[in-house]
Amino acid sequence: MSANPPPRGGSDTIFLENVRFFGHHGVTKAQQTLGAWFAVDVTLALDLTPGSLSDDLGATVDYGLVARRIVEIGTKDRVNLLERLAGLLADAILREFPVREARIRVRKLTPPMEGLHGTPGVEITRKR
């Protein structure tokens, strides 16, 4: 009796939660000067069959590399909007990793904004 591989093209995902970095993104002078901690959650849609069958990191997406790329982009340049930061992350991930779709959630954890109670953020989904 031989095992049949699962069908390809399912709804497999790799996710990373709470990838953190310190950046100077924002519209106000305080945000640009003081900076803030950011957290990024990423969900990547791809076929995980090759990795699940081979147990080989080369047959899947290395989420450690994805996390490093998120931190690199988040700390390299300054942008005004969380929307822009999320877009840059999505574009890089789709360009550099073999995924069908990337859902990116960016939150500003410590915004230097008087009177703000809560955590602002954005979520975008981009597909090939």
The Cα–Cα gap between 56 and 50 comes to 8
The Cα–Cα gap between 114 and 65 comes to 36
User: Are 12 and 46 a contacting pair, CB within 8 Å?
Assistant: yes
Question: What pLDDT is stored for residue 113 in this prediction?
Answer: 66
Helix (H) or strand (E) holding 32: helix 29-34
The Cα–Cα gap between 69 and 88 comes to 11
DSSP-derived secondary structure letter, 50: H
Catalytic residue among 29, 76, 108, 127: 108
Determine whether 108 is an active site residue.
Answer: yes
CB atoms within 10 A of CB 65: 12
Let me know if 7 is exposed, middle or buried by CB neighbors in 10 A (0-12, 13-18, 19+). exposed
Q: For residue 112, is pLDDT > 90?
A: no
Class of domain 13-127: alpha beta
Question: What pLDDT is stored for residue 2 in this prediction?
Answer: 42
Report the SS3 class of residue 6.
coil
User: Greater confidence, 110 or 21?
Assistant: 21
What's the N-to-C CA distance of the chain in angstroms? 38
Question: What pLDDT is stored for residue 4 in this prediction?
Answer: 46
pLDDT in tens, 51-73: 999 999 999 999 999 999 999 99
